[in-house]
Amino acid sequence: MTTPILNSSVPGNIQKKSLEGTHIAISGLIGAGKTTLAVALGKVLNLPTYFEEVIDNLYLQDFYKDPKKYGFQLQIYLLNSRFQQQQQIIWQARGGVQDRTIYEDSVFAKMLNESGLLDDRDYNTYCKLFQNLSNFMRRPDLIIHLDVSPEKSLERIKLRNRDCEKDVSLEYLQNLYNAYHEFLQDISRYIPVIRINWSEFVDPEQLAQMIKAEYESMRFMNQINPPTFGNGPTTNKIISTPKDL
């Protein structure tokens, strides 16, 4: 059994607060296990859960077949959809566990631009729209990133066998993996981040309990010095799962 490793990154301005009303975002590659963990965290923390729209996405299957043609349309569709979801979380004022956030959309858009699948004109338009919407957004209290390799991601995509994902390529996932590395370096300066090595699934509710304990310890710290990635203040902790997992 592989032991999940929880690496925590804590910005200096984190405040002590109750978990009630906490907004937790789960990030990671396609097929990383975000939905599974979101359900478990929602149960353990008694928070509502918000899921990524996949099956009803009007552009996703077309995008995977022809990303250059449909990249801009998909990014605008997702930006609007996630903005609506984030507004719902804010106005309901109950917090929640969110399966992918609006901030991750910028990861996909940047990767598409750098790969030549989204031209500079469309990318700049997307960025300006994102900046305008950001005036009405609130950052999550915590980001949980599920670390899996592009190869493992593709393996899980094939196992779940969704029609809309059948054209996802390993190259696309590798580019996305690299883009996430840059995203986490940047976002950890503003939002606490817990990175989980989840190459193999463990019991999601037990993992959720581990995350809860880790976040509760993070909330009482103003700054932690040893870096794990980037230049942000971070800490490393290896938390063993129960032996019967």
The catalytic residue positions are 99
How many CB atoms lie under 10 A from the CB of residue 7? 20
User: Has 28 been labeled as part of a binding site?
Assistant: yes
User: Has 96 been labeled as part of a binding site?
Assistant: no
User: Has 30 been labeled as part of a binding site?
Assistant: yes
Nearest to 106 by CA among 182, 157, 33, 195: 182
Inter-residue contact 95 to 22 (CB < 8 Å): yes
User: Has 62 been labeled as part of a binding site?
Assistant: no
Q: Do you know the residue count of the chain?
A: 245
Question: Is 120 exposed, middle or buried, given 0-12, 13-18 or 19+ CB atoms closer than 10 A?
Answer: exposed
Inter-residue contact 126 to 102 (CB < 8 Å): no
User: Has 200 been labeled as part of a binding site?
Assistant: no
User: Has 232 been labeled as part of a binding site?
Assistant: no
User: Has 2 been labeled as part of a binding site?
Assistant: no
User: Has 19 been labeled as part of a binding site?
Assistant: no
Return phi, psi of residue 50, to 5°.
-130, 125
**SS3 call for 8:** strand
Q: How far apart are CA 222 and CA 243, in angstroms?
A: 33
User: Has 33 been labeled as part of a binding site?
Assistant: yes
User: Has 182 been labeled as part of a binding site?
Assistant: no
Q: How far apart are CA 29 and CA 38, in angstroms?
A: 14
Annotated binding site for ATP: 28-36
Annotated binding site for substrate: 52, 64, 75, 100, 105, 165
Annotated binding site: 28-36, 52, 64, 75, 100, 105, 165
